[in-house]
Amino acid sequence: MSKGIMYIDGQRVEFDGEKNVLAVIRKAGIEIPTFCYNSELSVYGACRMCVVENERGGIEASCSMQPRDGMKIRTNTMRLQKHRKMILELLLAAHCRDCTICEKNGKCKLQELALQYGIRRVRFEDTREKVELDKSSPAILRDPNKCILCGDCVRVCDEIMGMGIIDFAHRGSNLRVTPAFNRCISETDCISCGQCAAVCPTGAITIKGDIGRAWNAFHDAKKRVIVQIAPAVRVALGEEFHMKPGENVMGKLVTALKIMGAEQVYDTTFGADLTVMEEAKEFLKRKETGGKFPMFTSCCPAWVRYVEQRNPKYLSHISTCKSPMEMFGAVLKEHYKPLAEADGRETVVIAIMPCTAKKFEAARDEFKHNNVPDVDYVLTTQEIATMIKESGIVFQEMENTATDMPFGMGSGAGVIFGATGGVAEAVIRRCVNDKGTGALQEIEFCGVRGMQSTKEATVSLDGEEIKIAVVHGLRNAQDLLKKIDAGEAYYDLVEVMACPCGCVGGAGQPYTVRSRKAMRAEGLYAEDRVSQIKRSEENPMVIALYDGLLKKNRHALLHVEYGTAGKNYEKE
């Protein structure tokens, strides 16, 4: 790690371990423009927007420059301005410029920089052939006509998710980002994690929206709209309304949803509590009967999809528990059945999720019966923000409203599901017999919290040492599987979340950097700290449900066998 002093636009700036000049410039408070630079991915150096001029008039990309002691650079000379403007003009020339009706209008990096640099004309003709949109994925929409070839999606898919679904193909002016053999996304192993859409600076990859369908349901008098809100949404939604990451806006969101037309608003934390109950039970049963270990968590649909397609030998290792959203969806549909029969209003379950893979999960055959899905529509955090804005609600000024009963109550253990390590911690809380406060603290510090890519913890359960691993970022999970394959590691329980930092970093959330994702996680832990109910089994509504609705068809409602579409549900 190098240390020293540089001079940026005449200002003396110290550097200490920054990986490139670009990072030092940004540290000095200068917002140097980039398209292809993403601090969490490898350096690509293609967009040339971050160019700087050295003392001899040489121009170099600051993202691919090592800081050196005594280095003198300028970031905003006439020549640099001219270069940047030319790059923007050329990019715009080969770009679909329907900005006002683009999904990314107002959130597009190209639009933002074109505005910032005052690009007022495009002198070059667009000679590219129009390419068809790829609408095949349930989660993302690809519009290659808006691609600026920055490669962020290619690198996130490969480096962070370990999937490599899309890559560059052809060369020169024919260069394009595409799945292999120009296939559509649905013909690949894509897990719908949506991270490509999250990093895309333009509208080339966007999240497939369900806003129209959701509004239709809200405004249909023959429909009873029941909303469930995932834990991670409440600590990120505020960012869309100029609030701090981690600020809990659950109460405001409930108020807004009621105004928009939701009949009942519940907390998916309740579903998470059910998951904890079932997963802990399954874990202890596996221990008793010598079941398959490690047992993997099943909450993350992108992870489940990965195992199904690329590593099916571990399918039987995945917990048979449905995800909290699907458990809750099944319970809600069952609970409202008599009411729907009585007044003829169809129950529509809308789930507000930080996740794009949930759209894929909701559409899976396993979660449909009589062709009706348990969760009708999944809206991402960004989509609900758009709907709130559309409806004219001034979100910041909303009063807080509590979630409805009987399913509006969740434990602290359920809330922390939204952060990496949360599911593991919640299951440990349930399994450990010592229910004192001391035990809670011990669990907190056992090593499951934090943003390291792979965390390990050991807890003692009835005298037996239980080895736990928590991993986020699908590539890290794949590396862990390789270790398990090679016999280099053994675990009893492994929590996997495909997205970096867990659900708080889901692709449905407002786009942000790692440090802010950690702030969101902090927001969840803060809610856990103030909740009177720390453990899922202490949630009185969960207890009541087990004594009621779940008495008869617990397994059918809460468990799933992947790859057996529909069969499982009708069994009991």
Partner 1 sequence: MASSIDFSKAEEILSSYGKNATFLIAIMQQIQNEYKYLPAEVLEYVAAELGISVAKVYSVATFYENFSLEPKGKHVIRICDGTACHVRKSIPILEALRKELGLSEKKKTTDDMSFTLETVSCLGACGLAPVLTLDDVVHASMTPEKAVALINDVKQEEKADE
CB of 41 to partner 1, least distance (A): 16
Please say which residue, 160 or 232, places its beta carbon nearer to partner 1. 160
Please say which residue, 168 or 490, places its beta carbon nearer to partner 1. 168
- Residue 14: other Cβ atoms inside 10 A: 13
Selecting among 239, 240, 247, 279, the annotated active-site residue is 279
Please say which residue, 178 or 539, places its beta carbon nearer to partner 1. 178
Consecutive H or E run containing 527: helix 514-530
CB of 158 to partner 1, least distance (A): 7
User: How many CA atoms are closer than 13 Å to the CA of 315, on its beta-carbon side?
Assistant: 13
SS3 content of the chain, % helix, strand, coil (to 5): 45, 15, 40
The Cα–Cα gap between 143 and 205 comes to 6
Q: Which residue has the tokens 């209008």?
A: 105
Selecting among 299, 355, 431, 446, the annotated active-site residue is 299
- Pairing relationship of beta strands 493-497 and 264-267 according to DSSP bridges: unpaired
Catalytic residue list contains 298 = no
Q: Tell which residue, 49, 56, 125, has the closest CA to residue 82.
A: 49
Interface pattern 165-204 for partner 1 (x via CB under 8 A)? xxxxxxx------xxxx-----------------------
Q: Does 46 bind partner 1 (CB under 8 A)?
A: no
Where in 59-98 is the site for partner 1 (CB under 8 A)? none
- Pairing relationship of beta strands 454-461 and 72-74 according to DSSP bridges: unpaired
Selecting among 18, 247, 326, 361, the annotated active-site residue is 361
Selecting among 18, 53, 278, 366, the annotated active-site residue is 366
Please say which residue, 127 or 433, places its beta carbon nearer to partner 1. 127
CB of 153 to partner 1, least distance (A): 11
Q: Tell which residue, 162, 153, 148, 194, has the closest CA to residue 46.
A: 148
Catalytic residue list contains 187 = no
Identity at 503, one-letter amino acid code: C
Please say which residue, 169 or 526, places its beta carbon nearer to partner 1. 169
CB of 174 to partner 1, least distance (A): 9
Q: Tell which residue, 520, 478, 255, 486, has the closest CA to residue 388.
A: 255
Where in 382-441 is the site for partner 1 (CB under 8 A)? none
The Cα–Cα gap between 417 and 396 comes to 26
Selecting among 282, 326, 425, 527, the annotated active-site residue is 282
Where in 129-168 is the site for partner 1 (CB under 8 A)? 158, 163-168
Q: Residues 297, 299, 300, 305: is their CA dihedral positive or negative? A: positive
The Cα–Cα gap between 536 and 276 comes to 7
Catalytic residue list contains 319 = yes
Selecting among 192, 503, 517, 531, the annotated active-site residue is 503
Where in 221-240 is the site for partner 1 (CB under 8 A)? none
Q: Number of residues interacting with partner 1: please give it, by CB under 8 A.
A: 14
The Cα–Cα gap between 238 and 253 comes to 9
Binding site for partner 1 (CB under 8 A): 158, 163-171, 178-181
Residues catalogued as catalytic:
279, 282, 299, 319, 358, 361, 366, 503
